[in-house]
Chains A and B, each alone.
Chain A
């Protein structure tokens, strides 16, 4: 079983809907990430939270709104999406310790989003 849990696994939404993707980890990691992955392409970084503060926003459109309510949870709020936003959304977490070497990212199984 993955240690990063993402819900829902599948989501179909219309362009006027508001929905949220959720991510939870209990490994004590203080860095959490959202990636977007189109079919047969590499994951692309969207957002990074470090110690519950947004540290990186890769110029993501405002129709994607991240939220980190506590150290274990990460949400991605979706509003007024476009069909081209259909993709696999991957959440990940890692340690965020100062000067640490590996800081391996542990990924969840992803939420597959379809925008109609």
Chain B
């Protein structure tokens, strides 16, 4: 079974400062992917960053970086230089990666409970 835990229901950050959103996970899959999505009040889920379980380096995408600590089963999102437009709900998500038949490769993407981030001017 897979489980994603986000322990911070809400976070505040001052504009231009960095913020870390926590995510821990549990899985029995030997290979898996970790994702972060942003959901503004409009509702659309926006993909931010991906980390594969066998990737040696932490993923980075512009102002987003993923602090991946496999032994601790954590995949925290770091947003540098926060902007007002970063105010949104952030979801950590995970899916197992199988090498079986085509249908099992889609896998289930499961989400944590989310963290609401508010950026203050």
Q: Which residues of A contact B (CB under 8 A)?
A: 2, 31, 33, 40-43, 45, 48, 50-51, 53, 55-56, 88, 90, 92, 94, 96-110, 112
Contacts and interface: CB of A to CB of B under 8 A. Distances in A.
Interface residue SS majority, chain B: mixed
B46 to A, nearest CB: 8
Given A50-B103, A51-B102, A96-B102, A2 B44 contact: yes
Interface of B: 33, 35, 37, 42-47, 50, 52, 89, 91, 95, 97, 99, 102-114
Contact of A43 (B50, B52, B111): B111
B50 A104 contact: yes
6 contacts: A33-B106, A41-B114, A48-B108, A88-B43, A101-B52, A103-B106
Contacts of A42: 91, 111-114
A100 B102 CA distance: 10
A33 B109 CA distance: 10
A108 B44 contact: yes
Contacts of A101: 33, 52, 97
B40 to A, nearest CB: 10
Given A50-B102, A53-B103, A45 B43 contact: no
Contact of A96 (B97, B99, B106): B106
Contacts of A99: 97, 99, 105
Contacts of B113: 41-42
Nearest to B114: A42
A104 B51 CA distance: 11
